[in-house]
Every structure is written in C-alpha cells, then in structure tokens.
Amino acid sequence: MGKYILKRLLWIIPVVLGVTIMVFTIMYLTPGDPARMILGSNATEEKVEALHEQMGLNGTYLQRLGRYMKQVFVDQDLGSSYYTGVSVKEQIKARLPYTLRIAGISILIAACIGIPLGVLAATHHYTWIDNTAMFASLFCVSMPGFWFALILVSFFALKLGWLPAVGIKSWTGYILPCLAGAIGGAAGLARQTRSGMLEVIRQDYITTARAKGQTERKVIFRHALKNALIPIITVMGGMFGSSLGGTLIIETIFSIPGMGTYLTDAISKRDYPVIQGGVLFISICFCLIMLLVDIVYAFVDPRIRSQYAGSTRKRKAGKGDKKE
C-alpha cells in the first residue's frame, strides 16, 4: 500500500510536466497579445516589440517554452502578473485556501444531505418518500447554482440580515457560499446513492444478512451502504476536482478572493503567468484528490486493497528475477 501511494505520488511529476507544456502551448496558440492589450491599440510597433522583450514573449515557441520551464522547475518561480506585478506564488498562497475551504465544506455538506437522502429514497422505493426526495433532487440538480446563490443572498442576507451578503471576514461569510455550492452536489449525490443502494439492496448478501436475523438498520448501513459507497466516492472526488475551478460563479457572487475569480480575470486579460501558475496548482490539487479517492477506495473495498498489494508483490517478484 505504501509503495502504491509512492508510485502514485511519483506519477504526479509527468502529469505536472504535461500540464505545464499543454497550458503553455494553448496560451501560445491563443490569439490576443498581452503587450498590445497593455499598451492599447495605438501603440507603435517598436513599443510593442520592446515590451515583448521585457515580458519574455519574444523568440520561437521552443525558446519560450524552454525559458518558462526553466523558470518554473529550476528557479521555482511562477512569475508575476503582467498587470499588478504581484508574484503569482504569493497570490495563489493567499487565494487557494479560500477555494479549497469552500469546495471542501460544500462537498461535506453535500455528502451529509445527499447520502442520507439517497438511502432514505432507496429504502422507501416507490413510496411518496422516494418520489418526494427524487423530485426535490431533480429540481436542485437542474437549478443553476448562481440562481440558488442569489435566492440565498436575498433571503438570508437582505431580508433577514442574518448573514453577510458578500466577502469573507469571519466564519459566517462561509455559510452562504458553501450552501450554494453544496446544493447541486447534494442532489447529485442523492441520486447516485439511491441508484447504488437500489442495486446493492437486491444482492444476495443483503438477504443473507437479513436471514441471519440482523436488524434492518444494520443491514442497510453495515452491509448495503458500505458496498454502495464506491461509486459515491468516485462522484465525490470528481465533484471536488471540478469545484476547484467551478466555485468561480459562487466566488464572483459572494466576492470571494479565491482561485476562480483570479483565473477568469487573468484569462480575459491574457495574463499568462497567472493562468499557467493557477492551472498548474489546480492540476496538482486534482492529482492529490484523485490519489486520496483511490486510497479511500482501498480502505472501503478489500478487493481493491489486495489488487494494490498484488501489483507491488508482483513487481517485487519481477525485480528478484532480474537480480538472479
């Protein structure tokens, strides 16, 4: 298991290299010239050239790529914004925690609402409870997140005045953004849990557990839910990944200084160092989350655990052969 984790961690290196090259290439190919955007459309050609030189935008594709790769991986410097001149590293350090916190809490809330709701719907299949839960979750899945966020703001912030409408000054500021972020996920998880549970509940081992005289509650939670958890974990991992970039709308509505607003702003201004640095960080976070998901899998499912162990054992044997 430890070997497996190490292997997966090492795999992050090529992924990060690949992502860096890809983002750089996309930026290279995208139309739009940051120098021209800074100087305005009446600037002379010489002035633009001079700024290119200064920004490191001169030279061929390979020269520029090489320069950038050296800067990132050797000097460990992500550069600084063309516009504000602030170091990208510093900005990410300040902004990433907000995004991570909002994404994390949202998913936690989504799981706390969605999974029990899905279990309830599955155990009351075809009854009004199931129908109500599924209607509600269909409604929430189809509902745009920003709309729900606005409703939350107008009700809790403007009408009742309980919570701040924008900004994050204390923990109260997190409540509305996290709720807004959780609602879609909760609905999705409820549907996933329900279908997973319905499948598991029909399995023979559930009947076996009942035939042992186990209580219904334990049959559902100890035997059924644990087995239904695998696809749910996958969905949750994916949700977390996508919400790293996707809290953008929520960050905009609630004026949160997170990664989403930072990146979109940079994209519209062709602020290359910011885009490249931001995407790099998000991809590293994504890799780590997926690794976490795989570790949780192994924790839940012994079949997967033995696969991991098996693959390292096999490699050990292979190595031994070579030495002999």
Partner 1 sequence: MSGQKKEELLKIEDLVVEYDTDEAVVKAVNHVNLQLGKGETLGLVGETGAGKTTIAKAILRILPDPPAKVRGGRIYFDGEDMLKLSEGKMRKIRGNKIAMIFQDPMTALNPIETVGKQIAEAISLHEKLSKAEVEKRAVDMLEMVGIPGERYSEYPHQFSGGMKQRVVIAMALACRPELLLADEPTTALDVTIQAQVLDMMDSLKEKLDTSMILITHDLGIVAGMCDRVAVVYAGEIVEQGTTEEVFDHAGHPYTVGLFNSLPRLNGTEKRLKPIDGLMPDPTNLPEGCKFRERCPFAKDECGKKDPEIKEFRPGHFVKCVRAGGEER
Residues found near partner 1 in the complex (CB under 8 A): 125-126, 202-205, 207-215, 223, 226-227, 300-303, 306
- In whole angstroms, what is the distance from residue 118 CA to residue 195 CA? 8
* Cβ proximity of 184 and 167 under 8 Å: no
Nearer to partner 1, 155 or 205 (CB): 205
Indicate the residue among 52 and 305 with the shorter CB distance to partner 1.
305
Q: Are 280 and 19 in contact (CB under 8 A)?
A: yes
Comparison of 224 and 250: residue with beta carbon closer to partner 1: 224
Residue from 55, 88, 52, 51 nearest 72 by CA: 88
Q: What's the one-letter identity of residue 97? A: P
Rounded to a whole number of angstroms, the minimum distance from the CB of residue 307 to partner 1 is 10
Q: CB of residue 305 vs partner 1: minimum separation in angstroms?
A: 9
For the bound state, the minimum distance from the C-beta of residue 301 to partner 1, rounded and expressed in Å, comes to 6
CB of 202 to partner 1, least distance (A): 8
Token representation of residue 156: 């809790």
Cα(81)–Cα(78) distance, rounded to whole angstroms?
9
Q: What's the closest the beta carbon of residue 126 comes to partner 1, in angstroms?
A: 7
Smallest gap from Cβ 199 to partner 1, in A, equals: 12
If the CB atoms of residues 85 and 213 are measured against partner 1, the closer one turns out to be 213
Choose between 70 and 303: whose C-beta lies nearer to partner 1. Answer: 303
What sign has the CA pseudo-torsion 316, 297, 234, 278? negative
Please state the closest distance from residue 277 (CB atom) to partner 1, in A: 42
Could you tell me if residue 258 is left (phi over 0), alpha (psi between -120 and 50 degrees) or otherwise beta? beta
* 9 C-beta neighbours (distance < 10 Å), count: 12
Alpha-carbon separation of residue 218 from 46, 130, 208, 209, 313 (angstroms) = 76, 20, 13, 9, 36
Measured CA to CA, the distance from residue 280 to residue 65 in angstroms comes to 15
Closer to partner 1 by Cβ: residue 4 or 68: 4
| Structural contact between residues 221 and 132, judged by C-beta atoms closer than 8 angstroms | no
CB-nearer residue toward partner 1: 226 or 319: 226
In the beta sheet, which residues pair with residue 80?
87
